[in-house]
Amino acid sequence: MTQFVLAIIISIAVLVFLIVKLNVHPVISLFVGGMLCGSILGNSPLVTITTIANGFGSTLGSIGMTIIFGSIIACSIRDSGAAKSMVNFFIKLFRGKNLELSTGMAAYIMSIPVFGDVTMVLISPLCAIISKRQNKPMGLMASMTILPLNLTHSMVPPTPGILAVSVLLGADLGLVILWGIVCSLIAYLLTWILMRGWAAKDYYPPKPEYIEGVEEAKSDDYHDLLIQEEGLPNVLAAMSPILLPVILIALASFADMTMAEDDSIRIFLDIIGARNIAMFIGVICGWLLAVAHKDKTLANYNQTSGKSEKSLFQMMFNGWVSEALEVALIPLIVTGFGGGFAQIIKDAPAATQLGDVVAATGFPGFLVPFVIGAAMECAVGSRTTAGMTAAGLCLPMLDSLGISPVACAVMIGAGTMIVSHVNDSGWWVSMSMFNMDAPRTFKYNTLVGGVAGVFAGIAGIVFIMLGVM
């Protein structure tokens, strides 16, 4: 056991040193950390690298297609005007009040299958426009828009990090989606209630290029606050590429829990609710959005890509796919190497004894994944790397911890909300996209996210103690 603990401590310390101090790419850092961990455990180099390769392959085999399809969906959301439709929907829903929730809820939904960094790029111009139109404090708009997209990025599959965690732990994906949504929504609303007054004191300016030519609204009528643009898609159509896959995955899980194995409805739902099929159905919805709004989608695509594409077919089946692969490549490879590193830990014979050691200390088992997730996020920055490492440590301990794989996944996700800072790429993206300096980014990303992470963790603990998660 001592050798196992030392292997974990030393390999993670080296991982953190490489990423934080030497700025080595996470791919190389994870590989070196995995090789070092295997060596300390007494494995030969050949056995260690084979184990890493097996973990890499199984991880990519589980989530690779899902990540690629999510990236294609992001392209369709961007170019079809779907993001603007979602923001308009929430402006109408809230009747022009609390408009930080309009961009916040749109970002919350978009970030479920789409990378958080990409969602920031999509939603930040709309956030700036609303701030200008209603003279809304940008501190409030930024903090309450960044927070929800980080919450779903951390806690709700099929976002890559929490998806990989769920697969590694063997957790029911539909239930992780359900409880991830419940806990993250509770965290978002409680944080909004607690911190909106504090954030509303900061009237710093939005990014200038986002509000060029934008004037303040002439009245408080919410109709004057809507994003005026011809040909925006219906809100249900706009949300369909995102929500339909999530609904199908959840329905399949519900069917597995309540219906007989030979039930024809369950068989059908298991087919369309398989994550890769469900995500491809979302891709099809995105293509249909493009067909229904051909001219707008082509114009937006050409504007963002700098191309002069005239063929809708080429845009959908070549342009979007090429962009999606470029966006997905780094998360795919990093997640794969994270799986390889986790495999080294998971396969160690002493791993199953670690839970007994933790249990003997009297430390609450439900807090272990939360604390490990938070510590790893603080250390390495990447929520995907942090979550995968935490899952690799927690998997052998599940029986001793006394929690379900679903609860473990949700608590890890909540933990990775804690202490996002300068070693997190999303931290820098939020600074740029929302026109913040470093002190503001610490306030509106790190601090607000940390508070929400605590709320999400508390919500998870309550549901665990009630025996429903």
DSSP secondary structure letters along 327-375: HHHHHHHHHHHHHHHHHHHHH-TTHHHHHHHHHHTT--GGGHHHHHHHH
Which pLDDT score is estimated for 382?
Answer: 74
The span from the CA of 234 to the CA of 239, in Å, is 9
The more confident residue out of 356 and 208 is 208
At 26, the pLDDT band (50, 70, 90 cuts) reads: confident
Q: For the residues 307-320, what does the mean pLDDT come to?
A: 93
Residues 6+ apart with CB under 8 A from 468: none
Which pLDDT score is estimated for 464?
Answer: 95
At 1, the pLDDT band (50, 70, 90 cuts) reads: low
Nearest to 434 by CA among 116, 271, 210: 210
Nearest to 420 by CA among 386, 390, 456, 369: 386
Which pLDDT score is estimated for 355?
Answer: 67
Amino acid at 297: T
Residue 222: inside a domain, yes or no? no
Q: For the residues 244-249, what does the mean pLDDT come to?
A: 92
C-alpha distances in Å from residue 420, one per residue of 7, 112, 413, 447, 449: 26, 19, 13, 9, 8
Which pLDDT score is estimated for 459?
Answer: 97
Most confident of 34-43, 221-230, 253-262, 453-462: 453-462
Q: For the residues 281-309, what does the mean pLDDT come to?
A: 92
Q: Is the pLDDT of residue 352 over 80?
A: no
The more confident residue out of 297 and 400 is 297
Q: Is the pLDDT of residue 199 over 90?
A: yes
The span from the CA of 333 to the CA of 383, in Å, is 14
Which pLDDT score is estimated for 359?
Answer: 67
Mean pLDDT of the chain: 88
Which pLDDT score is estimated for 463?
Answer: 96
Nearest to 187 by CA among 161, 226, 155: 155
Which pLDDT score is estimated for 195?
Answer: 96
Q: Is the pLDDT of residue 353 over 80?
A: no
- Which tokens go with 340? 């390889």
Q: Is the pLDDT of residue 255 over 80?
A: yes
Domain count, the chain: 1
- Which tokens go with 87? 């923001």
Q: Is 23 left (phi over 0), alpha (psi -120 to 50) or beta?
A: left
Q: For the residues 119-132, what does the mean pLDDT come to?
A: 88
pTM: 0.86
Residue 250: inside a domain, yes or no? yes
Residue 345: inside a domain, yes or no? yes
Which pLDDT score is estimated for 389?
Answer: 82
Residue 221: inside a domain, yes or no? no
C-alpha distances in Å from residue 340, one per residue of 24, 155, 374: 18, 22, 21
Residue 217: inside a domain, yes or no? no
Q: Is the pLDDT of residue 434 over 90?
A: yes
Which pLDDT score is estimated for 291?
Answer: 95
Residue 267: inside a domain, yes or no? yes
Nearest to 445 by CA among 164, 195, 135, 112: 195
Give per-residue pLDDT as tens, 333-342: 887 888 888 8
Give per-residue pLDDT as tens, 137-182: 999 999 999 999 999 999 999 888 899 899 889 999 999 999 999 9
Q: Is the pLDDT of residue 47 over 80?
A: yes
Q: For the residues 409-432, what does the mean pLDDT come to?
A: 87
Q: Is the pLDDT of residue 350 over 80?
A: no
Q: For the residues 291-301, what does the mean pLDDT come to?
A: 93
Residue 408: inside a domain, yes or no? yes
The span from the CA of 103 to the CA of 90, in Å, is 8
Give per-residue pLDDT as tens, 54-83: 988 888 888 888 889 988 998 999 899 998
What is the residue range of 147's domain? 2-210+229-465
Residue 251: inside a domain, yes or no? yes
Give per-residue pLDDT as tens, 439-450: 899 999 999 999
